Structure 1
Amino acid sequence: MLTKALLGNYALLDKGRPLEDLRNSIFRTALSRNSRCPLCERAQVCALDHFLPKNEFPEYSILADNLIPVCERCNRLKGDECDRVDGLLMFHAYFDEFPDTEILLAEIDVASAISIRYSLHHSDKVDDHTFERVKKQFKLLGLFDFYQMEAIAELTDQIDLYDETYASFGDSGLQSTLSALARGAERRSANHWKAALYRALSRNVEFCSGGYRKLFKSPLA
């Protein structure tokens, strides 16, 4: 009975209910991230995730520190995940520091088509336990495939920029532009998907020396 009553408290956050102001206040914290989901760093927030699932921890169902604004996709994929066996909890958007050492890599292959693959690289600056938590979060949220799709859209949107830059300044100019885009993304995080993408593009000699033109001819992979 107590569990049911505690779970019922969550409905008090709905519009027109007594705790609506609390819900609105929590969502306002997302404004500092331009309303981006802290789990995927891409989609718009639209839901409240219980970091500790309300079904297992009903006593925290309306605790503000346990309610994190996230996107629908991440909220659905995370579900009631709460690993109390090996302690590999996901990263809490408020209280945990995601590694700022470069561990997210994008691999660019300029062959008949341009392909993009994301992966994680274990740096000596990141302890084993933290890295395992990162891997778990990426796997649970399907971030490798998600970032690949986002990167494909990003490259498609920027084709004209690459072409104009290369035509005016050559491969060194395109490389400098890509490096600048990487630095801009790194202001959010060294492991933001755009930072990893543009680092990889700026370091890819074939892409910068005209290989980007394959974007005009064939689909990305």
Structure 2
Amino acid sequence: MRKLNVPIEDAIDVFDICISKVQNTDLKERLENCKPSIVTAVADYTTKAPRIELHTIATHDLINGNVTSSEMKKVYSDRMVGATAPGRYIYDKWRASAPNNICPLCAQRTTETLEHHLPKSKYPIYSVVPVNIFPACSSCNKIKLDAISNARETEPIHPYFDNVEDELWLKAEVIELKPASLRFYTIKSDHWDDIKYARIENHFRLFELEKLYASHSGEELAMNYFRINRLFETGGALSVKNFLEDSWLSMKDANINSWQTATYEALFNSNWYQEGGFKP
């Protein structure tokens, strides 16, 4: 879960670009008349998001009384996503906005698409609103689909409005079976209230991060077997421990909540692993 900078584009400017080539005069007029409603909706969103109150925004099927959900969603799908769509350059810019193209939801896979925090199927007025759209990997996008929240505790972490990178929340423990593996879990920071931690746990479950991180850590253990076994044969458990400590501190310096940091901390704290548990 990584924080991203809010897009600098104005919602109405983006909307204008997307509908600029609408040929149907009736549709164009109805879309144009949605602008005041969009401005109001954006103000409501940006007020409620920092307060963890997005779940209080009502789902809807009509915008401004006469633009259907389908028509508004097509402003995104046909007029932003399409290869020759007028808003395609904005889509590409936002999709490339995550540092190193890493998905902010899982903090692991590569970004391939855009995700709507409030799904456009339930909240079509936010179909092309910048603060509601961010880059994500296809897997996280498919997992979330049109899921919505009905309480503060279940609001997913929002990359633009939530910061969960400054406090430790991800840990792992070594499972002492052959071959060795790890189990990942969340912990509550002393500086967090119950709501924030509940949201972390919910996000962790929703996006199946335990399974994802366990899979990647298993591959990491297999890839490091030759090196660790060589250290063990030449310098014993102490050499293994020193390598694991250096790896843990290096990963921690880059990201305290990466699965790599949690992995190497758990291995560093496992005498069983260092004394031969790493062997298949």
Query: Shared topology, TM-score over 0.5?
Result: yes
Hey, what's the Cα distance between the residues in 1 that align with 2:250 and 2:147?
Answer: 33
Hey, what's the Cα distance between the residues in 2 that align with 1:10 and 1:111?
Answer: 50
Match of 1:194 in 2: 260
CA 38–188 in structure 1, closer or farther in 2 if over 3 Å, else same = farther
Write the letter of the residue equivalent to 2:273: F
Aligned equivalent of 2:85, options 14, 17, 20: 17
| Counterpart contact for 1:102–1:191, Cα < 8 Å | yes
Write the letter of the residue equivalent to 2:268: S
Give 3-state SS (helix, strand or coil) of 1:119's partner: strand
Aligned equivalent of 1:154, options 220, 229, 244: 220
Matches within 5 A, 1:44-63: 44-63=110-129
Hey, what's the Cα distance between the residues in 2 that align with 1:169 and 1:65?
Answer: 54
Q: TM-score with structure 2 length normalisation? A: 0.70
1:159-208, CA deviations, whole angstroms, 9 ceiling, x for partnerless residues? 12212333343322221221222223224432211111110001101211
Give 3-state SS (helix, strand or coil) of 1:83's partner: coil
Match of 2:189 in 1: 123
Write the letter of the residue equivalent to 2:240: L
Hey, what's the Cα distance between the residues in 2 that align with 1:96 and 1:114?
Answer: 35
User: 176-185 or 10-19, which moves further after superposition?
Assistant: 176-185
| Counterpart contact for 1:106–1:116, Cα < 8 Å | yes
Indicate the RMSD between aligned Cα atoms, in angstroms: 1.8
| Counterpart contact for 1:99–1:126, Cα < 8 Å | no
Hey, what's the Cα distance between the residues in 2 that align with 1:57 and 1:112?
Answer: 49
**1:84 to partner: Cα distance:** 3.1
Match of 2:201 in 1: 135
Hey, what's the Cα distance between the residues in 1 that align with 2:137 and 2:223?
Answer: 23
Aligned equivalent of 1:80, options 146, 151, 154: 146
CA 128–87 in structure 1, closer or farther in 2 if over 3 Å, else same = closer
Unaligned runs of 5+ in 2: 1-65
**1:28 to partner: Cα distance:** 2.1
| Counterpart contact for 1:100–1:189, Cα < 8 Å | no
Hey, what's the Cα distance between the residues in 2 that align with 1:98 and 1:62?
Answer: 26
Aligned length: 212
CA 87–103 in structure 1, closer or farther in 2 if over 3 Å, else same = closer
**1:124 to partner: Cα distance:** 2.4
> Rg larger in 1 or in 2?
2
1:105-126, CA deviations, whole angstroms, 9 ceiling, x for partnerless residues? 2110334442321122233232
Unaligned runs of 5+ in 1: 215-221
Aligned equivalent of 1:178, options 219, 244, 260: 244
CA 78–198 in structure 1, closer or farther in 2 if over 3 Å, else same = same
**1:99 to partner: Cα distance:** 4.9
Match of 2:106 in 1: 40
Identity %: 25
Matches within 5 A, 1:197-216: 197-214=263-280
User: 46-55 or 110-119, which moves further after superposition?
Assistant: 110-119
User: 198-207 or 184-193, which moves further after superposition?
Assistant: 184-193
Hey, what's the Cα distance between the residues in 2 that align with 1:154 and 1:112?
Answer: 15
Q: Does 1:70 align with 2:136?
A: yes
User: 54-63 or 78-87, which moves further after superposition?
Assistant: 78-87
Write the letter of the residue equivalent to 2:185: S
Hey, what's the Cα distance between the residues in 1 that align with 2:75 and 2:153?
Answer: 28
Give 3-state SS (helix, strand or coil) of 2:101's partner: coil
Match of 1:219 in 2: none
